[in-house]
Amino acid sequence: MAESDDDQRTKNESSGGMKMTEKEIIKTLLSTSVVKMKDLVPSGPLKSENAMKVAKWILTSKSKKRSPNMILQRIKWLTAVVQYGIVDSLVELEKLFTPFIQLIYTAKYQASVCHLLYMIATPNMYRFQVERITKSVNVVGLTNSLAGLLSRVKSLRPDLVPQTIPHQSDAISFPKAPSTIRNGFYALSEGIKERNEIPNQVTFSIETGKERTTKKMRLDIIPRVQHINLKSSFQVDFRKMVPLSRLQSFDDLLSKITSVELPNHVGSLLSKKEYHYVLSLHFTPRMEALLSQWLYLVLHHEFMERPQVHGREGKTLLLQRILEFQQNTGRKLMVVYDFLSLYLLTWDGIQFSDQIFQLLAHIPFLPYPDLNGNFLQVLEGLFHSCDTSHRLKIIDVCRKLIHNLLLQQFGPVGRAKLLFQKSEKTFSPEEILQLVEGTYVISEVIRFTERLLNTALTSSSDSSLVLNSLLFHLWLIDLESEFQLPFRTFCQPITVYMALFSPAPVTVSLLCQLMCKYGELGRNQLIAMSILPELGEFRQDSLEDAAILNRYIIDISRCLIYHKAFALGGNSMLALLPRKNLKKLSNLGSFQSSFALERHPAFTGISRRWQKSKSGNGKSLKLFEEVDADLDDYTRYMLGRFTAIMDYIQQFHKST
């Protein structure tokens, strides 16, 4: 009876009579007649040497002019034997990988042969084998079965298949086993598993239509977790290992983390956050090399060879998984930054900006010339050409980078303090060199960030830039003090004076807060600090910069308190304005009192609110007269809402 007739039988059809022995089955398959598939279910595991006999019969059939239907029967039977894990070893079948490739070109055999090749493929494939498979795609087109095979080849040898292969389930890629043997093979496979008759058994999941991955769920770039045991039992006892794909929860993973069987493709461990800990635990030099090779090839192909808009979801997911791995494990993937240094040269600042900015914020510690040449200069060029919102994002990246570099080089706060403080502990020349280099790199990144802020403030009057500059310097002085760094960073005049004359009350308040912190955490701490002699130059430079604080305080106090804005004399920086500009200001009337607390434009809203609370009329035209008439009450009202200004007065004008 032909196979086509057998396939019409129901799944529950009884085989009737005794089962054939393995020897009888092989003898039947090696004959030249059409066989009944339902009679070819063995009673136990199949010897690999017998599977080889059938494979050789298939490969020599064309030269002996055997019927295509007969050949297809044997191919389907051999594929089912491998699929259900009936054969005791695949080592010999793997040696026939190359000859079987030739059968792909025959349309009648293609689907089953691709399925067989899918299951016997190993990481030891050669380039010429992959090229033959790729060539067949050019000849017959990318069919479902070829897509499934190439997906498998890519997962094993990503260096040989750089192009993206559409992901699809096995149920779509390959046909099911013939219905007349499917139930029998499945029952035999389950029985073998229960009896552990084949310790090195290789089985492949049989996917149903319900398990098909939808388009939205596809991970086109990151390979799936798959397990194929290729080692012999004397090397690894796989009965004691737990395949990663069987662990359903994070708790399961933690309980079995020392006995997890790693998947065949290291890249698949990036597919889930839970798997990142497994990868980190097994992050040997060899694992790192395998992951780095795959990542570089994939990143280069996806982001530099393919159009940016193609496969956007998959690319975004890949970058996100890389970020999550680095954040979850604390490990830096240097290969990602090698790629990033090339990609940034052509990056438009928009594509994948969220992920790229996060990667830049976590750059590993590098010598400053490398850091600047590969990354910071690109950010600076982008900064000059983008709008305010993008500029603020870049400033935020720099802020996070400064903090991350501190943690990478000096560790947490407690450890960093011990490093910078002079003590009885002796440091080796290498440790001192590392300390000095780390301090230098971080100070240069801070200067770089300051330069960006000054550029933005010079080219724009946007109040959000002034606000962010103040917030950055407030954060920075706290950070430098907390880590006991041997230097302090004092903001440039453009930030101080734009904040002082800003129409926003919060900027004036933050400026006063910043001056208080500069006095307490900046200058005073630097003077009292005892540091290593090798770091003395950093402190000396900061103390010289701190001299400008006196000039800032003179001008702020003259404007807000003493009604002497722009007055000549003293150490004021405002007094250095050109005389013709001061003359123009004098024509405006009492310009020296225009920025006092009771007259400052930033506090007009507060003044009107105070006036309304007193008289119930917020539309009075004699606002300043009313303020002057009850100045003490207004001052208490205003300072109660801006305590930073009160702190400034108490710290620098105790007698006021």
* Beta strand 242-243 pairing with 260-261: parallel
Which band of pLDDT confidence, cut at 50, 70 and 90, is reported for residue 153? confident
Q: Which amino acid, 5?
A: D
pLDDT in tens, 386-440: 889 999 999 999 999 999 999 999 888 877 777 776 555 667 788 888 889 999 9
With respect to residue 346, please indicate whether it lies within any of the assigned structural domains: no
Same domain? 531 vs 383 = yes
For residue 519, the number of C-alpha atoms closer than 13 Å in the C-beta half-sphere is: 15
Q: Which of 177, 195, 213 is the last residue of a domain?
A: 195
Number of domains in the chain: 3
Same domain? 501 vs 634 = no
Distance of alpha carbon 342 from alpha carbon 455, whole angstroms: 26
Contacts of 526 (CB under 8 A, 6+ apart): 487, 488, 539, 542, 543, 546
pLDDT in tens, 172-216: 778 888 888 888 888 888 887 766 544 344 444 433 333 333 444
Q: Taking 70 as the threshold, does the pLDDT of residue 168 lie above it?
A: no
Which runs of consecutive H residues, i.e. helices, occur in 141-272? 144-156, 170-173, 179-195, 250-255
Same domain? 19 vs 126 = yes
Same domain? 486 vs 609 = no
Distance of alpha carbon 98 from alpha carbon 135, whole angstroms: 13
Give the 3-state secondary structure of residue 21: coil
* CB contact at 8 A, 46 and 24: no
Which band of pLDDT confidence, cut at 50, 70 and 90, is reported for residue 262? confident
Same domain? 46 vs 111 = yes
Beta bridge partners of 421: 531
By mean pLDDT, which of 272-276, 296-300, 620-624, 628-632 is the weakest? 620-624
How many C-beta atoms surround the C-beta of residue 242 within 10 A?
17
Distance of alpha carbon 381 from alpha carbon 408, whole angstroms: 26
With respect to residue 88, please indicate whether it lies within any of the assigned structural domains: yes
With respect to residue 561, please indicate whether it lies within any of the assigned structural domains: no
Which band of pLDDT confidence, cut at 50, 70 and 90, is reported for residue 226? low
What is the sign, positive or negative, of the torsion defined by CA atoms of 622, 623, 629, 630? Answer: positive
Same domain? 383 vs 532 = yes
Question: Percent of the chain beyond pLDDT 70?
Answer: 81
Same domain? 16 vs 159 = yes
Global pTM reads 0.64
Give the 3-state secondary structure of residue 487: coil
| CA dist 215 → 23, 397, 411 (Å) | 47, 34, 44
What pLDDT, on a 0 to 100 scale, did the predictor assign at position 170?
A: 67
What average pLDDT is seen over the chain?
A: 81
Contacts of 229 (CB under 8 A, 6+ apart): 200, 201, 202, 236, 238, 261
What pLDDT, on a 0 to 100 scale, did the predictor assign at position 585?
A: 66
Distance of alpha carbon 560 from alpha carbon 508, whole angstroms: 10
With respect to residue 534, please indicate whether it lies within any of the assigned structural domains: yes
Same domain? 509 vs 410 = yes
Same domain? 518 vs 628 = no
Distance of alpha carbon 374 from alpha carbon 345, whole angstroms: 9
Average pLDDT over residues 554-578: 83
Give the 3-state secondary structure of residue 243: strand
pLDDT in tens, 482-521: 998 999 999 999 999 999 999 999 999 999 999 999 988 8
Which band of pLDDT confidence, cut at 50, 70 and 90, is reported for residue 250? low
Same domain? 538 vs 606 = no
Please give the residue range of the domain that contains residue 538.
363-544
Which band of pLDDT confidence, cut at 50, 70 and 90, is reported for residue 621? low
Q: Which of 143, 163, 195 is the last residue of a domain?
A: 195
With respect to residue 311, please indicate whether it lies within any of the assigned structural domains: no
Same domain? 172 vs 36 = yes
Distance of alpha carbon 300 from alpha carbon 401, whole angstroms: 24
Report residue 409: phi and psi, to 5°. Answer: -85, -35
With respect to residue 539, please indicate whether it lies within any of the assigned structural domains: yes
Which band of pLDDT confidence, cut at 50, 70 and 90, is reported for residue 10? very low
Same domain? 387 vs 498 = yes
Helix (H) or strand (E) holding 434: helix 429-459
Give the 3-state secondary structure of residue 5: helix
Which band of pLDDT confidence, cut at 50, 70 and 90, is reported for residue 365? very high
With respect to residue 114, please indicate whether it lies within any of the assigned structural domains: yes
* CB contact at 8 A, 508 and 502: yes
* CB contact at 8 A, 159 and 295: no
Helices 505-517 and 493-500 cross at an angle (nearest 10°) of 140
Average pLDDT over residues 632-648: 91
* CB contact at 8 A, 491 and 454: no
Nearest to 84 by CA among 45, 38, 125, 131: 45
* CB contact at 8 A, 504 and 600: no
Q: Which of 138, 171, 195 is the last residue of a domain?
A: 195
What pLDDT, on a 0 to 100 scale, did the predictor assign at position 398?
A: 96
With respect to residue 268, please indicate whether it lies within any of the assigned structural domains: no
